[in-house]
């Protein structure tokens, strides 16, 4: 019996079984977007319905499947056909730094929003935002600093941010990490219930394990020394 060959075969089989039986879990996958067309094409997300005209000021406001809550005692002002410092505007404005919590009635896999910056010099500060996703109280991921070249808005032009995931979430926290107050407004929101498709690693590892086991135990031609033949 060739001890070296047996040891190699046993080692190979052990590694193959280990790979096939473990490492099947993987981290959640997130794709971030600053192009709304790409986001909608990938996710099939839908936009919230039109805003209510001059609904008033709220500490919390529910629209379709989303509940919006500002932070630090600020108020929300949902408007339709109004203005944001002389810029035509329909959406939600916050009477302070534009921090916003968004609770979603049922878990979703995609979320996005349009943000409008006013086209006047009134309290105008180029802003940067961070966004965090939660499932219940569990933080799933954070986008702490969206690229300024993509998300620092030009006057009077909407910017877009979106995310697509293979794990569901039901809460989004938006924080203005750089900027001032009263110069941006949230124009529209988008949600989708189709999960991002990601290949399962366990399938490929299982196939690799089967091939590895087969290779390790493949019969080989024995030499006369192995058989005792002369």
Contact 76, 56 (CB under 8 A): no
**7 plus 41 within the same structural domain:** no
Per DSSP (E only), the strands in the chain are 30-33, 46-47, 61-63, 66-70, 76-84, 87-94, 100-117, 128-135, 138-143, 158-178, 184-192
What is the per-residue pLDDT for 183? 67
What is the per-residue pLDDT for 141? 94
Rounded to whole angstroms, the Cα distance separating 40 from 42 reads 6
Rounded to whole angstroms, the Cα distance separating 146 from 193 reads 24
**178 plus 70 within the same structural domain:** yes
208: containing domain: 3-22+201-222
- Predicted model pTM: 0.73
What is the per-residue pLDDT for 152? 45
164-212 tens-digit pLDDT: 999 999 999 999 888 777 567 888 999 999 999 987 655 444 544 454 4
Per the domain annotation, does 134 fall within a domain?
Answer: yes
Rounded to whole angstroms, the Cα distance separating 39 from 150 reads 15
What is the per-residue pLDDT for 104? 98
**83 plus 176 within the same structural domain:** yes
Per the domain annotation, does 115 fall within a domain?
Answer: yes
**45 plus 115 within the same structural domain:** yes
**15 plus 34 within the same structural domain:** no
Low-confidence ranges of the chain (pLDDT < 70): 1-26, 54-55, 81-88, 118-125, 145-157, 182-183, 200-230
**79 plus 158 within the same structural domain:** yes
**134 plus 156 within the same structural domain:** yes
Contact 18, 206 (CB under 8 A): no
What is the per-residue pLDDT for 157? 67
**72 plus 145 within the same structural domain:** yes
What is the per-residue pLDDT for 23? 44
Per the domain annotation, does 96 fall within a domain?
Answer: yes
Per the domain annotation, does 132 fall within a domain?
Answer: yes
Find, among 113, 101, 94, 114, the residue nearest to 181 by Cα. 94
**94 plus 183 within the same structural domain:** yes
Per the domain annotation, does 228 fall within a domain?
Answer: no
**119 plus 12 within the same structural domain:** no
Per the domain annotation, does 93 fall within a domain?
Answer: yes
**71 plus 171 within the same structural domain:** yes
Domain CATH number, residue 148: 2.60.120
**41 plus 130 within the same structural domain:** yes
Domain count, the chain: 2
């Amino acid at each position: 019996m060739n001890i070296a060959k047996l040891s190699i075969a046993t080692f190979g089989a052990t590694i193959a079984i280990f790979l096939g039986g473990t490492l099947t879990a993987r981290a959640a996958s997130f794709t971030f977007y600053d192009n709304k067309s790409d986001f909608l094409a990938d996710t099939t997300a839908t936009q919230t319905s039109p805003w209510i005209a001059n609904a008033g000021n709220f500490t919390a406001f529910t629209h379709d499947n989303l509940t919006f809550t500002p932070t630090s005692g600020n108020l929300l002002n949902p408007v339709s056909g109004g203005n944001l410092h002389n810029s035509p505007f329909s959406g939600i404005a916050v009477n302070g730094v534009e921090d916003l919590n968004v609770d979603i009635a049922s878990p979703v896999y995609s979320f996005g929003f349009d943000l409008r910056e006013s086209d006047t010099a009134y309290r105008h500060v180029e802003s940067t935002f961070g966004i965090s996703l939660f499932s219940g109280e569990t933080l799933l991921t954070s986008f702490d600093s969206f690229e300024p070249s993509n998300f620092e808005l030009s006057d009077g032009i909407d910017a877009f941010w979106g995310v697509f995931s293979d794990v569901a979430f039901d809460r989004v926290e938006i924080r203005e990490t750089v900027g001032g107050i009263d110069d941006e407004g949230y124009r529209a929101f988008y949600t989708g219930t189709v999960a991002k498709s990601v290949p399962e690693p366990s399938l490929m590892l299982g196939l690799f394990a089967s091939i590895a086991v087969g290779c390790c135990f493949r019969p080989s031609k024995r030499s006369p020394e192995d058989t005792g033949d002369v």
